[in-house]
């Protein structure tokens, strides 16, 4: 799956670069759907994050939390000429893609990487991590209907969404710690369309350090089944829009609702 995510990242990178060629000065400065950031700021965020993949000296200080760490590098780049922001993204997104490809090979692939509140994961998952970031920001924060830019949405396909789901589901137990106090019966998550699959959010056990578990397949004794497209999971699973807009619940709605409220992947 992670190898596929490398190709998905490269494809999403090309879509972003194609979009940048068409933006006017006014469009670059439009407010994105990411609170407080313009379209230009979103690209600056992607650029500096990928720069940090290639050169760890550029990694943000994560000690105050992931989301708080994102603002200072973006604020710094507001004084840069746009051409420099574009050059940083173009250069380091290409180099990061090569890093992601190398991370599919052993021993790097299975080397565990601590990522703060995002969890500890094998390095092979990095392609999906940054594919998720690119896909989410482009399609939710920049492009309409939620963002300001009126351009056709790039393809939604397995090449992109399978790796994104791999990352979101691996990170969910770490990034949503409140779930441990809510999940005492299995909840099935049925994702449809490209990147889809069926998973069970199961109660914590002795192997999971107090975190819920996400396992493939649907538990027969699930309290409810939650159905959504994989693409829409990127929207509601990051709290960009309310989950009830995108989800159907079959079973115990009162049990499922607080669990879905607590899913907030960053």
Of the candidates 136, 143, 155, the one whose C-alpha atom is nearest the C-alpha of residue 234 is 136
pTM of the full structure: 0.95
Report the alpha-carbon distance of residue 149 to residue 32 in Å, rounded.
9
| Top-confidence residue, 62 or 241 | 241
Can you give the pLDDT at residue 67? 74
Can you give the pLDDT at residue 258? 98
Does 100 have pLDDT greater than 90?
Answer: yes
Mean pLDDT of 82-90: 98
Does 206 have pLDDT greater than 70?
Answer: yes
By three-state DSSP, how is residue 197 classified?
A: strand
Can you give the pLDDT at residue 247? 98
Does 1 have pLDDT greater than 70?
Answer: no
Mean pLDDT of 5-34: 98
Give me the chain's average pLDDT, please. 96
Mean pLDDT of 229-243: 97
- Written as six digits, the tokens of 2 are 């992670």
Does 61 have pLDDT greater than 90?
Answer: no
Pairing of strands 112-114, 187-192: unpaired
Give the residues across from 225 on adjacent strands: 188, 250
Domains and CATH numbers, the chain: 2-158 (1.20.120.450), 176-262 (3.30.1050.10)
Can you give the pLDDT at residue 66? 73
Can you give the pLDDT at residue 64? 65
């Amino acid at each position: 799956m992670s190898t596929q995510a490398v190709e998905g990242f490269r494809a999403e990178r090309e879509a972003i670069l194609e979009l940048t060629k068409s933006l006017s000065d006014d469009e670059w400065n439009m407010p994105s759907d990411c609170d407080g950031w313009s379209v230009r700021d979103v690209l600056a965020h992607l650029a500096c994050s990928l720069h940090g993949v290639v050169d760890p000296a550029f990694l943000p200080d994560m000690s105050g939390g992931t989301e708080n760490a994102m603002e200072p590098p973006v604020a710094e780049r507001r004084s840069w000429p746009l051409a420099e922001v574009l050059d940083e993204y173009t250069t380091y997104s290409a180099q990061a893609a090569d890093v992601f490809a190398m991370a599919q090979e052993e021993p790097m692939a299975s080397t565990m990487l601590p990522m703060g509140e995002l969890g500890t994961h094998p390095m092979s998952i990095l392609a999906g991590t940054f594919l998720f970031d690119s896909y989410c920001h482009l399609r939710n924060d920049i492009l309409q209907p939620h963002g300001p830019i009126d351009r056709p949405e790039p393809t939604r396909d397995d090449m992109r969404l399978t790796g994104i789901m791999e990352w979101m589901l691996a990170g969910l137990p770490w990034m949503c710690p409140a779930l441990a106090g809510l999940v005492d019966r299995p909840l099935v998550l049925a994702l449809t369309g490209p990147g889809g699959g069926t998973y069970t959010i199961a109660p914590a056990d002795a192997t999971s350090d107090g975190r819920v578990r996400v396992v493939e397949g649907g538990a027969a004794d699930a309290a409810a089944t939650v159905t959504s497209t994989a693409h829409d999971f990127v929207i509601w699973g990051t709290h960009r829009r309310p989950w009830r807009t995108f989800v159907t619940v079959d079973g115990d709605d009162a049990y499922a609702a607080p669990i879905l409220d607590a899913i907030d992947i960053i």
